Amino acid sequence: MNYRNFFISLAAITVVVLFVQGCSKESSSEASSAKAPAITIANNGNDVTFPPNSPQLAQFRIDTVMESSIRLALSAPVHNLVSVIKSEIGTKKLYLFETQDITDLYSGYLTAEANLQHSSLALARVKDLYAHDIAAAKDLQDAEQDFASQQSSISDNLSRLHAVGIDPKALGQSPAGTIWVIADMAEADITKIKPGMKVEIEYVTYPGEKFIGQLASIGQAIDPNTRKVKVRIVLSNPADKLHAAMFGTAHFTGTSQKAVTVPTTAVVREGDGTMSTWVTTDGQHFHRNTVQIGMQDDGVYQITDGLELGDHVVTSGGIFLSNMLQASETQE
């Protein structure tokens, strides 16, 4: 027997078998790829469509947008700005501010106010003298310039006081035994609160104890660095338990109201900071809606824009759709 020819034939057969198997696997892979369901992305990435019976549809939960009762629940850090106490001399009040800088600022305002009053009286006197040809025109001009300067000075002091949360007129009307509390609230939350509402405050000094106050005013300026707004809360402090410069947390609560709501899991925060939900009419085609959220309460968001009652929205799995679009944009 010629062994050399035998081994050559055996090797040739092996190569043929491996080639056939390889072709078979490739054909099988191509056939499998041809059968794989195709997902289409359109409308600048805002529409995703799955083929019928796609196994990936099983990961989505879809619920109907409904109207439900929602209660405001906001929290913000607070600090006691000023304590109003009764003076031991006469009937005057004393103001104990949280820092020496604010004390100096308020003192500067009082000085500017006194100077303005004095300048106003002086101007009125010079005008009267000038009208009777007793004072010279230059005297009147000097008095007018001094009055304008004092007005500018007090305006500057008022602006700086308002920036830290102090309204001198309102402070003067506050009775002894009260505390002014300042909450630093996010810009987006100030539309959810209003003066007169009840506020619960918990202090680090008194853990577990709640102090009830009232929202007095919402600041007119937004800090350009923190995007926070100063909100003033007034507390009664008859037992003198609270002092200036104490820190705590304010909890704003309101009455229940009807609102368009979705579970918080239905809202996806996109990479650019916008909030989105995915809606569908047939459970197969999904469209991305940008929404505006309002209050949050017990696992739901109030939707102020972007959804309507009766819409069908993805409440579980929406993040998968957004991530899928991000992946497609990266590949492009």
CA distance 149 to 147: 5
273-to-122, 291, 301, 307 alpha-carbon distances in Å: 58, 11, 16, 18
Indicate the burial class of 98 (C-beta count within 10 angstroms; 0-12, 13-18, 19 or more).
buried
Is residue 261 domain-shared with residue 239, that is, in the same domain?
A: no
Tally of domains in the chain: 3
User: Is the same domain home to 55 and 112?
Assistant: no
| One domain, residues 233 and 209 | yes
Q: What does each of the 332 residues of the chain score in pLDDT, given as a tens digit?
A: 444 554 445 444 444 444 445 555 444 444 444 455 688 888 887 899 999 888 889 999 999 998 988 877 788 999 999 999 988 776 689 999 999 999 999 999 999 999 999 999 999 999 999 999 999 999 999 999 999 999 999 999 999 999 999 999 999 999 999 999 999 999 888 888 889 999 999 999 999 999 999 999 999 888 888 999 999 999 999 888 999 999 999 998 776 778 899 999 999 998 888 999 999 999 999 999 999 988 777 788 899 999 999 999 999 988 888 887 666 554 55
The CATH number that applies at residue 60 is 2.40.420.20
Alpha carbon separation from 309 to 15, 65, 67 (Å, rounded): 67, 5, 7
Whether the model pTM is above 0.85 = no
Are both 304 and 167 inside the same structural domain? no
Out of 219, 235, 253, a domain closes at 253
Full domain range(s) for residue 93: 73-253
Dist CA 279 CA 286 (whole Å): 6
